[in-house]
Amino acid sequence: MREWTDIVAAFNTLCEQGKACALATVVRVEGSAYRRPGARMLVAEDGRTWGGVSGGCLERDVADRARGVIAAGKPFVHRYDTSDEELIQRGVTTGCGGTIDVLIQPLSHDSPGVIPELAALLGLGGKPNNVSILTIAHATGRWASTAGLSHNFGTDCHLIPDDLVAAVVAESDSSRTHCCTVAGDGSEASVLVEHLSPPQRLVIVGGGPDAVPVAIIAKTLGWRVAVVAARPALAIEMRFAHVDERYVTGPEAPLSGVPITAECAVVVMTHNLARDASVLAAITARPRYLGLLGPRHRTERAIAALPSGHPGRSLHSPVGLDIGSESPEEIALSIIAEVQACVRAADARPLHARRAPDAIAPDIAWQA
């Protein structure tokens, strides 16, 4: 999410400066790859880049090809075979052993591609919204002219035939990002289908020094971060100047005015048992993740007065993964890692412990 924010901002700046650019998108992967379909990189005509389509090995070559696309004004797809020995020797790939299709599209103010959808997803200029995007990587027959185009399912698109959109909707999984191939009346299209949710919202209840690295790591990931504290507003504003929302609440209403929804992740770290208990009692909607800092016996005291089935009882405590954390920064890493695993429904096992690591490991780099 963070790199998409950078891409949107860079695109707007380039448009204001009257400079051309192109967008590279991973539209298909077979085998192992560092990034999954949906990874993007913006390339300016002077070679500057934002975002990425690999771990760094493909970027230079993609940028060179993107400058050619800008000059030609036409999109095209290039396939990288990362098992190709010649490419390995040239340093273009690192031998991951997969094939990666990268679509490179020229963009402009009048033809912004998926930039408006990414802006809507991120809530730039408004409330963040879910978006569903189809991108045509390859197309033949009467659909051939659609190759290189993108379409938001929620809007009309006169450039992509209705029957192609309908075929993709019929074939696609409505809950995940994936690639599919559709056919009809002698025409065929290879399509990247993306169902994207806004950045994860994290609510940190507690304004102590140990909450700062939690907020910093979350912001690094591109999450939207809210901090709720009982300290003076000026102190909270100075300590958490980098977060999206700041709330100062009293003991009688510790979550007053703070939106807590099913999509939120909430970490309670006030270091005050009575306040922790009141915060948990004030939660009325079960968040996607709820964690409480402190040992189990302290947690039992904090939830003792809550009735059975109360959302405040469904929590992770002690909060975080066991990675041997000691310092505040290490504890913050542990907390954010557990939140990430929870919201992605991942088991947080070491990748080497999986039965088929070569086939599964790249999924950890799937675009957020």
Domains of the chain: residue spans and CATH: 2-115 (no CATH), 129-196 (no CATH), 201-343 (3.40.50.720)
Q: What pLDDT is attached to residue 357? A: 42
351-358: long-range contacts, CB 8 A cutoff, minimum separation 24: 358/31, 358/32, 358/97
Confidence class of residue 49 from pLDDT cuts 50, 70 and 90?
very high
Q: Distance between CA atoms of 102 and 58, rounded to whole angstroms?
A: 10
Confidence class of residue 149 from pLDDT cuts 50, 70 and 90?
confident
The type of residue at 348 is A
Q: What pLDDT is attached to residue 48? A: 95
How confident is the prediction for the chain on average, in pLDDT?
A: 87
For the stretch 245-290, pLDDT in tens is: 999 998 889 999 999 999 999 999 999 999 999 999 999 989 999 9
Residue 234, C-beta contacts closer than 8 angstroms, at least 6 positions apart: none
Mean pLDDT to the nearest integer, 148-153: 82
Query: What is the reported pTM?
Result: 0.83
Q: Distance between CA atoms of 101 and 2, rounded to whole angstroms?
A: 23
Give the Å distances, CA to CA, from 203 to 41, 219, 228, 285: 30, 12, 7, 13
Mean pLDDT to the nearest integer, 338-353: 90
